[in-house]
Amino acid sequence: MRFADTPELATWRTTVRSFLDEHWHSTGSDDESEAATSMENEEQFQARMKRSQAWLDKLGENGWIAPAWPKEYGGADMSVLEQFVLSQELTQAGAPTSRQMLNLVGPTIMLHGTDEQKAEHLPPMLRGEVAWCQGFSEPGSGSDLASLQTRAVRDGDDYVVNGQKIWTSGAHRADWMFMLARTDPDAPKHRGISYLLINMKDPGVSVRPLINMHDGHVFNEVFFEDVRVPVRNRIGEENRGWYVGTTTLDFERSNIARVVNIKKSLAKVLDYTQAREVNGEAVGRPQRMELADRAVETAVCELLSFQVVSIQASGGVPNMEASMNKMYGSELQQRVARTAMNITGMRGQLRQPEGLESEHGIQAAMNYLSTVPATIAAGTSEIQRNIIATRGLGLPRG
């Protein structure tokens, strides 16, 4: 077996690279994944968003924001494998691929939404006109998500929503939220939940910031006080929202761009290590052994992402495989960040690196801090292990 592009995919990869040269690299734009973890202020953030939007407009002209979607909804009717190659190349170049959360809510609406919902929500997403946030977690319901308490009570053609969400990434900048609310408190917990789309500008929605451990404002608390949500904003059947929500989570955990970023981080650490040795600052044997381990693990991680893509390419939605990919990838992100800290030593602890670290784009401290939540967001590692054990291996629950 040989993991290589077919001739058609190789030609496609070359097309994507030329497009990137012409429209991304030539503008001198920064690596998005790094900018997002750096200490940018509001002004820098807005300037980055403006550059991103210009780039997304270019991508959108070709239907490349969601390339595997049908053309009628703004996609390009491409195969999953073509989409994978595009995603690999954009991530490698550090270019944005879409606006926040599109990769989660878009495919969910595509699978479970009505024609009207698709027509209303998918085209503006692809024009980059709307940002979304995910309202799943609540103060008492994270891992045990099905215990969520936010209530949606039917009143004519609306639901009236009351309750609270927490850790809602990007809620302060989102136009819409996809969320889960309890519509039948008497049903077993998985069967009384509905999946709703809420306009964040609606009366009764309020957002309060939560500041993370590297002083960034990424996530929030969101409160709902008698928010009226039209019934037509429900995705899927009433009280069947749990099953729609798990589709969203499967897409979230299938994140195949993660391994490209891991490879980029590891490549930087390797370059830096070699440069130190050239400068006469030898790197010790334990660290060389550690780097070899990271290289092996990165290769394994890449195979796990290939597994996810091959299931998607044959028309399936990866489940246990998505959890394997998420768990292994997020733990590896942390190990690579720790290796970078070990190799850079005291100098790596500077939040704004200087000298050789800066030359090689090593942001060991910021990277380390930003990878801490990787094993919590989108479901903790313990939860992924539970899914692999029960749904994957057929072991009993509890």
Ligand X SMILES: Cc1cc2nc3c(=O)[nH]c(=O)nc-3n(C[C@H](O)[C@H](O)[C@H](O)COP(=O)(O)OP(=O)(O)OC[C@H]3O[C@@H](n4cnc5c(N)ncnc54)[C@H](O)[C@@H]3O)c2cc1C
User: Which residues of the shown chain bind ligand X in the complex (CB under 6 A)?
Assistant: 133-137, 142-143, 167-169, 219, 373, 376-377, 379-380, 382-383, 386
Question: Quick one: tokens of 331?
Answer: 């733990």
Considering beta carbons, is residue 81 or 179 the nearer one to ligand X? 179
Cβ closest to ligand X, residue 142 vs residue 204 = 142
Nearer to ligand X, 138 or 290 (CB): 138
3-state secondary structure of 312: helix
CB nearer ligand X, residue 214 or residue 264:
214
Cα 251–257–263 angle (5° rounding)? 145
Which CB atom, from 141 or from 339, has the smaller least distance to ligand X? 141
**Local structure of residue 127 (DSSP, 8 states):** T
Minimum separation from the CB atom of position 380 to ligand X (A)? 3
Of all residues in the shown chain, the one whose CB is closest to ligand X is 142
Q: Which of 278, 282, 293, 304 is nearest to 360 (CA)?
A: 278
The first and second tokens of residue 282, run together, are 């030898």
- In angstroms, the CA 95 to CA 301 distance is 22
* Nearest-10 Cα torsion for 306, 108, 246, 102: 70
DSSP 154-169: EETTEEEEEEEEES-T
Q: What would the two tokens of residue 74 be?
A: 């703004």
First to last CA, the chain: 39
Minimum CB separation from ligand X for residue 344, in Å? 24
Q: Which residues are catalytic?
A: 252
CB of 167 to ligand X, least distance (A): 3
CB of 199 to ligand X, least distance (A): 17
Beta-strand runs (E) in 184-303: 193-199, 205-211, 217-230, 234-235
Report, in Å, the least distance between residue 298 CB and ligand X: 22
222 close to 135: Cβ distance less than 8 angstroms: yes
